[in-house]
Structure 1
Amino acid sequence: MMLRSRMSRRVSLLLCLTVLSACAVGPDFHRPDLPKNMAYQGARLTATAGHGVVGATVQQQFQSGVDIPGQWWTVFGNPNLNALVDQALANNQSLRAMQQGLKSAWEQRRIEGAGLYPTLSASFNPTRNKTSRVYSPIPNANVWLYNVHTAQLNIGYVPDLWGGTRRAIEAAGAQADLQKFQLEATALTMISDLVNATIEEATIRAEIDATNELIRSQRAVLKTVTAEQGLGNASRQDMAQQLASVAQLEATLPGLNLQLAQTRDQMAVLVGVTPNSPLPEFRLEQFTLPKTLPVSLPSDLLNQRPDIRAAQAQIQSASAQIGVAIANRLPNVQLSATPAQAVGVMSDFFKPGYGNWTIAATVMQPIFQGGSLLHAERQARDNLLQANETYKATVLSAIQDVADSLHAVTFDADALTANENTLKATSQSLKIAQGQLRLGDVSELVMLQAQQTNAQARLAYVQAEGARFSDSVGLFQALGGGWWNRNDMGMTPAAQKSLGKSLLPW
């Protein structure tokens, strides 16, 4: 009967420990509630202005709820751009640094996971000893000098009674997710910057070409005015004004060339090479504006934007840290066992009678640590509140980014149409003024004004062309860039699963 009672108590104790180890103190993770009826704008999305078949003047349609392709930059139809992005994904040092940081974060999760397993260490301690005659007047076999060889195992285990270890694993996993989404944000920013840099280069080259063309035209007019002034049909003031017009246009070229050189330097660094490395040249006519643009639903944006996912991971980490702080304030149990053998000569190892062992259980309850454990829990709760508010702000900022990008796509299309009409009008006006000048019906001043107006219209049109391509890039970036449809981790999916999911101690 006594035996049954003891067995019953042991089984009950084991069941209690099992139940306790199955629970985890602290709040479970959940995303904060978001504003209802979220939308990018009040009006319904409609097609942009445009009439062309190719180039920047095409009309663009919006498709709601369509997935974002992983290689979204290929929609611009530029093989050189595609090759450059692939090179950047393979060589960009910032991206590779983030990939190594993610591996480190995954290893930290596995370090925390080691707390679920018992610890085992072995020691071997050979000693040479001399016994004093005072302590041992009659030593064994009358030998005052003797050897002791001790081989021992140290086994320890701390049951996760309150789930503190599991909360620590959860927090470390959330920090790894945070690192992962920061990596995706780095990749998205790098790709977007590179694509925008190629568009910027193409735009600057178009501005330089337009400026050189205008300079040639202005020089031709200067030649005519100089000849007329020699014949007395034009004043010195007319010639001076034309000289000033040519000089003003030429003065813009160094600035444009500087922008071009700096843009190509930026491209080289993004690709992971030095600025003196050869890179392809880009021109606006090499790009194709996509006729359809995907627009994700606001609810889908919560899973697509790396910054939102990173903020979400921060909430989960902060939530788990509360559980860790609570568990640190509760009593805990530490189990240990130390089986060993101590022999005088090595040949006696593993013979009966030389073994010894100790089994122990230690119960620990924090009593007073100057309030540090209490304040650590309060700090963890404050961190969770902060993470929740940061998440809400991140979501609103992301929705604003998409809304701003949609507005830019729409209104810059209108701006390009207006600039196209302006350029047509100023070009026609310039032709008329040139004809009238040859007939002597207008003065050189009218001709100069027509040229300056046409020059400004041409440059504005080129800039509007580049803006339309950049707006499409901005929309893809604002929608998350399709990272979930490509692999930016720098390792195979199998390696990602092994490092990011497993807690096995090898």
Structure 2
Amino acid sequence: MNRSLLSIALLAALSGCSLIPDYQRPEAPVAASWPQGEAYAADGEQAAAVPGWREFFRDPALQQLIEVALENNRDLRVAALNVDAYRALYRVQRADLLPAVTADGGGTRTRTPGDLSMSGEPTISSQYSATLGVSWELDLFGRLRSLRDQALEEYFASEAAQRSTQISLIASVANAWLTLQADQALLEVTRDTLKTYEESFGLTQRSFDVGVASALELRQARSAVESARVSIEQYTRQVAQDRNALTLLLGQGMPANLRVSGELVREQLAELPVGLPSDLLQQRPDILQAEHQLKAVNASIGAARAAFFPRISLTGAAGTASRELSGLFDGGSGYWTFTPSISMPIFNAGQLRANLDYATISRNIQVAEYEKAIQTAFREVADGLAAQATYTRQVQAQRDLLQTSEDYYNLAERRYRTGVDSYLTLLDAQRQLFSAQQQLIGDRLAQLVSEVNLFKALGGGWQAAAAPSPEEG
């Protein structure tokens, strides 16, 4: 009795054994704070949380588009299905830790010809059975638990990948919408410019007819008109292609009530907080995904180590058997079998050692991947902070240039109408004004896109939360 209790205690102790290496999160290979300098936001401001996407994107039309994309985008749908798939794989791996129970029933009837029977007469024999079987591998060295933990971490990695896909989708929809607005604004500016060029061409044509303007000035005026017409077709095409790109992201057609305006204003987006610590990056879903993948390969080392030790399996069956179906459950018809087995690796040409080396190398690779993910995130945020500070000054400078160009154009037009300057001066002023208008739209777009990319780099407003239990579903 004491020996039995000792054996049970020993098995219980061995069942808790794990050969998985202790996990230690690698040190982040980046500075504790963001770079400093003229291009970056000033220090000393109180750190605040990154806003959610509904708070950051203030444009109701853009909010509507993001909601549609989150509901219908196919990449996000695939990411969600991947989470379900890894949840199912975890449940498959977890099931190996528990005994497998089967119930079987069967019956056979056999006719034996007379020349093969002992009596010389044909005979018919019957056999019926009902069996309950149990098989169980004792996980003494943690091989199955290591594989279960590996599957669990892969599930968590897929869940983080889904969140990362969602953040990328939100940023892509926002950038596509801003690009569509910018190209629409460029199209409207070009149409207005074409009207101006056509008015100047009409004035030059009348001056040419009365012998005031030269043929060269007339050709220059016509050239400006045709150049504007070319730009209109270019921006018309870009607007159509922008709509197509946005439709792909949405997963369906654009809402019918949506009106595309050509107004790019900074107020479409909320202000992002400054002074955030760099350890905020640890909460980015893509970095969490890399860490879960690191934990998964770390668990695989435990399974590779456990493969060097014996595997013990217990198999048993109990049931009844009878020649007659009616006597299947009569007294004395019961039977049972019990088959324990042990498998000890002796020689496999170094396969187990190679598997362990591969698992160890995979962990080292994943450490480097995890560190690279942090470095990439740090660079993305640092670039975003640099853009945040410089684009504000650049856009203001471009506004000043546009105002100067408008003044130059108005002055050149008056001087040309009064005959003080040639048409070449007016044409130069028109082109400079058109170029300044285009550049301001481009700078505004770049500023807003950089804000969206910074929002994405900071984690898109996603806050750490408990992942759904893989036991569900």
TM-score, shorter chain, exceeding 0.5: yes
SS of residue in 1 equivalent to 2:22? coil
**Distance (whole Å) between structure 2 residues aligned to residue 183 and residue 101 of structure 1:** 8
Give the counterpart letter for 1:111 in structure 2: V
**Contact 2:110 2:126 (8 Å CA) reproduced:** yes
Paired residue secondary structure (1:41): coil
Q: What is the DSSP-based 3-state SS (H/G/I as helix, E as strand, rest coil) of the residue aligned with 2:263?
A: helix
What letter corresponds to residue 153 of structure 1 in structure 2?
L
What is aligned with 2:14?
20
1:439 and 1:101 map into 2 onto residues whose CA distance is 72
64, 71, 89: which one aligns with 2:53: 71
- Alignment match of 2:339 (pick from 360, 364, 378): 360
Sequence identity of aligned pairs in percent?
25
- Partner of 2:171, secondary structure, is helix
Provide structure 2 residue ranges, at least 5 long, that are not aligned to the other structure.
none
Deviation, structure 1 residue 241: 1.1
Distance, in Å, in 2 between the alignment partners of 1:182 and 1:497 is 14
Q: Contact 2:287–2:374 at 8 Å: present in 1 too?
A: yes
Q: Say whether 1:285 aligns with 2:266.
A: no
2:372 equivalent in structure 1: 393
Paired residues of 2:405 and 2:429 also in contact (CA < 8 A) = yes
Out of 63, 76, 80, which is 1:82 matched to? 63
Alignment-mate amino acid for residue 110 of structure 1: R
- Displacement of 1:279 after TM fit? 6.6
CA apart distance, 1:209: 1.2
Provide closer, same or farther for how the CA distance between residues 357 and 165 of structure 1 changes in structure 2, counting only shifts above 3 A. same
Q: Which moved more, 1:386-395 or 1:118-127?
A: 118-127
After superposition, where does 1:430-441 map in structure 2 within 5 Å? 430-441=409-420
- CA deviation vs aligned residue, 1:381-433 (integer Å, no higher than 9, x gap): 11000000011111100000011111112211111011001001111111111
What's the CA shift string for 1:68-101, capped at 9, x where partnerless? Answer: 23334x4342212111111111111221122112
Match of 2:463 in 1: 484
Shift of 1:470: 1.4
Among candidates 69, 72, 79, match of residue 91 of structure 1: 72
5 Å matches for 1:236-247? 236-247=215-226
In 1, Cα distance between equivalents of 2:32 and 2:16: 39
Superposed CA RMSD in Å reads 2.7
Q: Does 1:351 align with 2:330?
A: yes
Q: Which amino acid aligns with 1:373?
A: L
Instruction: Please state whether the residue corresponding to 1:124 is helix, strand or coil.
Output: strand
- Amino acid across the alignment from 1:377: L
Structure 1 counterpart SS, 2:36: coil
Deviates more, 1:385-394 or 1:266-275: 266-275
CA contact (8 A) 2:57 2:270 kept: no
Instruction: Say if 1:316 and 1:198 are closer, same or farther in 2 by CA, change over 3 A.
Output: same
The separation in 1 between residues aligned to 2:115 and 2:140, in whole angstroms, is 51
Distance 1:225 1:135 in 2: 120
Alignment check: 8 A CA contact 1:78 1:286 kept: no
| Deviation of the 1:484 alpha carbon | 3.5
- 1:125 aligns with 106
- SS across alignment from 2:67: helix
In 1, are the aligned partners of 2:30 and 2:375 still within 8 Å (CA)?
A: no
| 3-state SS of 1:356 partner | strand
Provide the TM-score with structure 2 as the length reference.
Answer: 0.92
- Post-superposition offset of 1:163: 1.1
Deviations 1:339-382 (A, max 9, x none): 12111222323332111111222111111223222111111111
Match of residue 195 from structure 2: 216
How many pairs does the alignment contain?
471
Counterparts in 2 of 1:351 and 1:70: CA distance versus 1, 3 Å? farther
Q: Check conservation: 2:39, 2:386, Cα contact below 8 A.
A: no
Match of 1:111 in 2: 92
Given candidates 165, 173, 183, the residue that maps to 1:186 is 165
The code of the aligned residue for 1:122 comes to A
Q: Which runs of 5+ in 1 are unaligned?
A: 1-6, 49-60, 487-492
Distance 2:382 2:130 in 1: 71
Determine the C-alpha separation between the residues in 2 that align with 1:135 and 1:367: 47
Counterpart CA distance in 2 for 1:375 and 1:76 is 52
In structure 2, which of residues 261, 279, 286 is the aligned counterpart of residue 307 of structure 1?
286
Q: Aligned letter for 1:280?
A: L
Give the match's secondary structure for 2:102: strand
Question: How big is the shift at 1:47?
Answer: 5.9
2:29 is equivalent to residue 35 of structure 1: yes
Question: Which of these residues, 146, 151, 173, is aligned with residue 172 of structure 1?
Answer: 151
Normalising by structure 1, we get a TM-score of 0.87
Q: Give, in whole Å, the separation in 2 of the partners of 1:454 and 1:47.
A: 32
In 2, the alpha carbon distance for the partners of 1:247 and 1:286 equals 27
Map 1:129-208 → 2, pairs under 5 A: 129=110, 145-208=124-187
Q: What SS does the corresponding residue of 2:296 show, helix, strand or coil?
A: helix
Other-structure match for 2:209:
230
